[in-house]
Chains A and B, each alone.
Chain A
Amino acid sequence: MSGAEKIKVKVTEITPINELVTRFRFTQINGELLPTFSGGAHTVVEMDDGGITRLNPYSLMSDPYDQSSYTISVRRDDEGRGGSLFMHNNVTVGDEMTISYPVNLFSLDLRADKHLFIAGGIGITPFLAQIKQLERFNGNWELHYACRSEALGSYVNVLTDRHPNETHIYYDDQSQAINLVNLLDGQPLGTHVYVCGPKGMINWVRKTAEDAGWPRDNIHYEEFLAPQPGKPFEVKLATSNKVIQVGEHESLLEAMEREGVDAPYLCRGGACGQCETHVIGYDGQFIHRDHWLDDDEHASGEKIMPCVSRFEGKTLVLDR
């Protein structure tokens, strides 16, 4: 079996937050309580997009202890392959959908004396749940949140109203920027830093913290990877004895699933390692996009993460 356990839910509320972001609320169809979860967890939402099954991960942003409903926020990506467009354009209140049990690849380190959150754009969502979790136990936290503009600052008002002392907002269009070196320098011993946002921001925070001598274990990050479109390619699946085509707008994992191959997965975002697949042979170029394999493994040509990575070239043979 692939993926986490499933839950049948109903969409009970759709709230536009700003021009790009919309919030969705889910409750269980059978009326039962949803499982509790830990701040930082995501759920994988299944979408039936005109015959194509899309499974996209979204961070749970609601209070982890509120079992009556879950909320997620979806940022519209006009250039992506459609998962977010589907949520924005096709989902209406009352729809029944399937989501996965909560899965956490970005959990709080509960040993921390202080949690320092750095968010960029829609990367705010996991922190909303983590803040609710920490507030319950009087946890020590601080948030630095960069948004493009006031108009696009999702949940800025709620945060500054409820937590004026902990919340710090930076607007790109007003040339406000996090002074990271100073910020990191002023932290008490036992602080953990968490970053969620665009790739550039994650790399910047990780590098700055490492350069400043922060222990690796105290730096946590989560990037939302969605599979990117790319040139179609052909793959031979040695174990299943099949040759399949991966289309421009589908991932290698989705193509395998379409062909009835039971390929393992969990996050579908290049983070969990579950879909790791052994390469038997190839002639061409890998386009690795995951966070799971390290640089050496990427260079080795021996492994690929089919949920987000692609291939360009003549032949690719996988052990699947």
Chain B
Amino acid sequence: MTIQFNDETFRDDYSFRNSEWAIKRFPFPFHEDSYMYSVNMEQHRGGPAGSVYEKRFDVDEHYLAEMKDRALVLDQDPLRCQSLPHMTLAGWDLLELIMECKSEDYPDLFELHRNGNTWRWVNKPMGIDDTFTFLDETTLPYGPMEYITRQAQGDFAVLDQRDDMLWMDAGMITTQADWSLDFDIGMNFFEWHAPVPLAHEKGIFIRALKFLLNIQQGAPARRLNWTMTVNPLLDTSPENYHKWGIQKTELSPENIGHKQHLRVELQTFYRLPRSNALVFPIRCYLCNFQDMMTMPKWGRRLHRVIRDLPDELATYKGFIDNKPMMLDYLSQFDDGQPTSPGIWPDQETEPPLQK
């Protein structure tokens, strides 16, 4: 199918909207009626047609608007994109990976023509047609990682692997859930995860690291993570907390349905061949409560998950103050009916709301 790209914003007037198509394919992150941290990783080898799992790097209706938003963030704060000197080769790896995947998965939108080290890259939606020399930085307007991630949705952390440890030595981070690349750059896996509650005690990070160190070329993996965001903001960074933190107090029973968004990150993991580094694309999907409630299963389940979530998690994710208001709203969509297992909406089989 051809994608209709939305003309929309993630700031000021917040004209971001999800089409019916986007709502249906929203990666609802809860496979059962409760949630706790776990080592929830699986292989990333496609998924149901049309789902966000189908392609290696999902492109959707928000593509152009997200890339505009990224450019704005970078204008104001160039430190959102950093790459330590030894990570340039990993940057080329990432450029190659994204160009290959996008041109193979979306041949009507992207083209890659290779003639030895002379490469021509065509990005039709963004109107880009560039010819450059692979592995020669002087032939691109930015470093290889910055060049390609200005054309790819989601954040990208690029991790060097040394001494059985991962190090955050490069990244393009403009759509993050309240963490900072400038703060985390050069840190290791345990250091940058230090603020997360409960998971350390459960040994989750030790097992997750072992898994990541062993991710191999040709065998990428994925997991989902989630949080809550008031207004469809991509840039919820600590650097700009003074701008967006206050918006959480503007939530009311009248506006919660369209203002409160579930923010889901599709996180994938790829081994990069030339550098042996690991790339961690973090793709953010936003869906407001009222759109999500059009799926009866999601309505029932979201209420139960939020109701039973440990306070430590609600605090860490920054919505503990608004939790009672959320529950008031969500309880209208929970009729106590059982829900089917798995994350899919199961529209055909799930009964409509019985209230």
| Residue ranges of A at the interface with B (Cβ–Cβ < 8 Å) | 1, 4-5, 35-38, 40-41, 64-65, 101-104, 107, 109-111, 133, 136-137, 216-217, 266, 272-274
Contact = CB atoms under 8 A, between A and B. Distances in A.
Contacts of A64: 274
A217 B275 contact: no
Given A217-B162, A217-B163, A273-B210, A110 B275 contact: yes
A38 B216 contact: no
Interface of B: 43, 84-87, 89, 135, 160-163, 210, 213-214, 216-219, 273-276
Contacts of B214: 266, 272-274
Contact of A101 (B89, B161, B163, B219): B219
A138 to B, nearest CB: 12
Contact of A104 (B86, B135, B276): B276
Nearest to A41: B276
Contacts of B43: 1
Contact of B274 (A4, A38, A266, A272): A38
B217 A101 contact: yes
Contact of B273 (A5, A36, A136, A273): A36
Contacts of B276: 38, 40-41, 104, 107
A1 B214 CA distance: 13
Nearest to B87: A110
B273 A102 contact: yes
Given A101-B219, A110-B89, A38 B160 contact: no
A111 B86 contact: yes
A41 B216 CA distance: 11
A21 B87 CA distance: 36
A274 B215 CA distance: 11
A40 B43 CA distance: 25
Contacts, number: 60
A37 B219 contact: no
Contacts of A111: 84-86, 160
A274 B211 CA distance: 9
B275 A38 contact: yes
A37 B216 contact: no
For the complex of A and B, 10 pairs with smallest distance between CB atoms: A110-B86, A107-B276, A5-B218, A38-B276, A111-B86, A4-B216, A104-B276, A36-B273, A101-B218, A101-B217
Contacts of B163: 216-217
A102 B219 CA distance: 11
Contacts of B213: 273
A137 B137 CA distance: 12
Contact of B217 (A5, A40, A107, A272): A5
Nearest to A192: B162
A111 B167 CA distance: 12
B185 to A, nearest CB: 14
Contact of B216 (A36, A109, A266, A273): A266
17 contacts: A4-B217, A5-B216, A5-B217, A36-B273, A36-B274, A38-B274, A38-B276, A64-B274, A65-B274, A103-B217, A104-B276, A109-B86, A110-B89, A111-B86, A111-B160, A217-B163, A273-B210
Contacts of A5: 216-219
Nearest to A106: B276
B218 A4 contact: yes
Nearest to A217: B163
A217 B218 CA distance: 28
Contacts of A110: 86-87, 89, 160, 275
